Chains A and B, each alone.
Chain A
């Protein structure tokens, strides 16, 4: 898991920033930290939660944050595109706890689906203003329920179409290497040895 660090205040927006945001989001949801959401969701925020067929505005979403929740997600893959002051992120996350038998079991169809190992995809848009990035839109969709699925990510990749996913992974490696080489060049640290 990435180290804790502030998401805001940087004009760049990287995969690490998106993952950090997601980690903070999950932590705030776990703690029932409504103030975190008020601070990090833009005024025009809305969300679509596909598994329960809900489309919520900012106020409706904040009303859901009414106390600590026993949830634990971890981002397994992150892709980011940035267009000036707008960035989009696609985050594949995995549920780390089996909620089907816990205190939240069946509270909503969405929670009822959250077996350990279930995969979710978050598609989010961020806008930059006043020196910080805030989430302005988010769609949550379920990719599969682990109870019917395989136990390892490799098999999940197979089901999702390996060629497509590999292209995405390679694109991510390509971007990472390019960014590091660019940073290297900017820093004038280009010394190479035989």
Chain B
């Protein structure tokens, strides 16, 4: 097994450590070397926590020598989006304005994963304050497959860290697609749970009614493992009972570019061949989705960033952030309330759609990763299938779709609070569309 294969999955790391074939410290050294080797190309990390990672890994090794029971993630290198607090390290939110903002404690997710033995090796680059594309503070995070392209956002560095096998798993946040979009661009798995299921305490900024903790990994299985650490649910994983019924939005092919049409068509064909049944579904209006999203997120961003932005000069903030904050000031209370009402209506509608199918399936992105100089770089339509499920709170996951070129993704959306079922369906699909 090569060094990068060792960093490709949770089980590869933990079985190597538990069997004594390697130590947690050696695993961390591999991860740190990989991060440094790839930094000039993709620039995925803002902070590398080498000293504390070596310290934590040594503790895992010592516990193993003493014969103690190890946590499920003992010795697994973890990358953390720089919006989530890691004690003693700055949480920059992708902005130089916060480069001296040192966290006094771990965020809830980091704390839980560390308790399970995960070793934080670094904090990952992201769009400034999670609005992008805007990565001027710490440089661009480039797509591993083609560094002239944007790796998606806002959790860009976390997706790249997994894609480049710097770490087997990474965490990020998703308020409008920010985990699923970069996951699809980079060819990894990105999962956002049902709204509120995973604790976002210690995330800054956090958008009150839209934000979700997100998990990224190379395979659905590893997302399942990490989610079980963060959200233990009694009982075994539910089996997938064929035939799997999938709701596919009407007219999806008219809203995607050809490489994505080809990839998604291939997935449909493969899953049908394995007995899946496809049902056309009508998703809510796309322009309305963005109107509701922006009417909501602009207000919540203005609230979340008030303190930071209040201290800054205009030149310190990117245009994307300035625009959203200006919009937040223009949205009235009545506008915000109307958007929330529309969200409740849509949540019911998506609930009803999911009464008839096991999951809704869409392309994750409507075209492959964009070049940095693409005039459409700021066009939201590449992520057109994503924010609806932030508005409704349904769990959603992006898994890589087989392609002959740049990566593409397939999004599966499940019933609220039935995240385990969704992950089981995703694992079923992942295996059958390979």
Contact = CB atoms under 8 A, between A and B. Distances in A.
B254 interface: yes
Contacts of A181: 338, 341-342, 345
A172 B351 contact: no
18 contacts: A3-B254, A116-B375, A153-B378, A154-B323, A158-B319, A166-B330, A170-B295, A170-B335, A173-B290, A173-B295, A173-B335, A177-B338, A181-B338, A189-B345, A189-B349, A191-B348, A193-B347, A193-B351
Nearest to A3: B254
A176 interface: yes
A177 B330 contact: no
B339 interface: yes
Contacts of A173: 290-292, 294-295, 331, 335, 339
Contacts, number: 96
B20 interface: no
Contact of A180 (B288, B294, B318, B323): B288
Contacts of B347: 192-193
A154 B318 contact: yes
B99 interface: no
Contacts of A3: 251, 254-255
B221 interface: no
A177 B335 contact: yes
B320 interface: yes
Interface string B316-350: 00111011001101110001001101101101110
A104 interface: no
Contacts of A172: 291
A96 B255 contact: no
A96 B376 CA distance: 10
Given A96-B375, A180-B285, A170 B331 contact: yes
Interface in A114-165: 116-117, 151-155, 157-158, 162-163, 165
B100 interface: no
Given A3-B251, A154-B378, A177 B323 contact: no
Contacts of A170: 295, 327, 330-331, 335
Given A3-B254, A191-B348, A177 B377 contact: no
B344 A193 contact: yes
Interface of B: 251, 254-255, 284-285, 287-288, 290-292, 294-295, 318-320, 322-323, 326-327, 329-331, 335, 338-339, 341-342, 344-345, 347-349, 351-352, 373, 375, 377-378
B127 to A, nearest CB: 12
Interface string A171-192: 0111011101100100001111
A187 B352 CA distance: 16
Contact of B344 (A151, A155, A192): A192
A157 B327 CA distance: 12
Given A173-B335, A181-B341, 20 more contacts: A152-B378, A154-B319, A154-B322, A165-B326, A166-B323, A166-B326, A169-B327, A170-B335, A173-B291, A173-B331, A173-B339, A174-B295, A177-B295, A180-B284, A180-B285, A184-B345, A192-B341, A192-B347, A192-B348, A193-B351
Contacts of B349: 189
A100 interface: no
Nearest to B347: A193
A177 B378 contact: no
B345 A177 contact: no
B342 A177 contact: yes
A158 B320 CA distance: 10
Contact of B345 (A15, A151, A190): A190
**Interface SS of chain A:** helix
Given A16-B287, A170-B327, A184-B345, A154 B295 contact: no
A65 B255 CA distance: 30
9 pairs of A and B residues whose beta carbons are closest in the complex: A154-B319, A173-B291, A176-B291, A166-B326, A192-B344, A170-B330, A180-B288, A193-B348, A166-B330
Contacts of A152: 319, 377-378
Q: Which of A158, A173, A184 has the most CB of B within 10 A?
A: A173
A20 interface: no
Contact of A177 (B255, B288, B322): B288
Given A162-B326, A173-B291, A154 B320 contact: yes
Contacts of B291: 172-174, 176-177
Given A154-B318, A177-B335, A162 B323 contact: yes
A167 interface: yes
A96 B373 CA distance: 12
B351 to A, nearest CB: 6
A174 B344 CA distance: 17
Q: Which of A152, A163, A167 has the most CB of B within 10 A?
A: A152
Contacts of B339: 173, 177
A94 interface: yes
A176 B327 contact: no
Nearest to A153: B378
A180 B342 contact: yes
Contacts of B287: 15-16, 176
A157 B335 contact: no
Nearest to B292: A177
A158 B315 CA distance: 11
Contact of B375 (A15, A117, A165): A117
